[in-house]
Amino acid sequence: MSDHKKSLTEDYFDKVYQNNEDPWNFETSEYEFNKYKTTMDALTCATYRNAFEIGCSIGVLSEMLAVRCQRLLSIDAAKAPLVKARRRLERFNHVQVQQMAVPGQFPDERFDLVLISEVGYYLSMTDLEILQGQILAHLDQYGQLLLVHWTPQVDDYPLTGDQVHEAFQLLSGPGQPLELLFSLREKTYRLDSFQKR
């Protein structure tokens, strides 16, 4: 795949959040609620030892994840939404909320769950491939990798949701480091669940 566009930067997201602290209606959208429910239903373990959520925004899904994790690290590239995320999650002592932009920054820890929800298409293909390597290096054997992305084309975004998921599917199958456990395609989003071999 060609790499026509560069990854979106913090400045892009600062502008998005400038006039609206919930620009994608995470708190009120029925679409988001149903997608979050589907995401939670796709979790393969009752409890995770150490989970990593890439792209937490204002923390709506993080709050749901928190009750399933002994430890959760939720990150976002932009500073603005993390103010609300920290307020939402402050009662959970086992949850950390940090500003971090992958793949330039990546935690030096091991995880048994990595969740990438609505963020992979903000990266160039080059950066997505770097992120894939980081995830594989830090995901426990038998750990779960869960991807959920909007599939319609968005002109600003370097990639589509389908390109993100297809890039990870190339890492599954015989002799590959991931096993595809479950795939779901809805009208405007798709979900893929993988396990590290």
Is residue 96 one of the residues assigned to a domain? yes
Predicted pLDDT of residue 9: 82
Confidence of residue 179 (pLDDT cuts 50, 70, 90): very high
50 pLDDT exceeds 80? yes
Asked whether residue 114 is assigned to any structural domain, the reply reads: yes
The parent domain of residue 122 ranges over 10-196
Give me the pLDDT at residue 1, please.
Answer: 41
Q: With respect to residue 3, please indicate whether it lies within any of the assigned structural domains.
A: no
Q: Provide the CATH number for the domain around residue 35.
A: 3.40.50.150
Q: Is the pLDDT of residue 26 over 90?
A: no
pLDDT at 23: 64
Does residue 4 form part of some domain?
Answer: no
Query: Is residue 41 assigned to a domain?
Result: yes
Residue 111 lies in a domain: yes
Q: Give the side-chain half-sphere CA count within 13 A for 91.
A: 5
- Give pTM, 2 decimals: 0.92
The answer to whether position 125 is within a domain reads yes
The answer to the question of residue 2 being in a domain is no
Domain count of the fold of the chain: 1
Mean pLDDT (the chain, rounded): 93
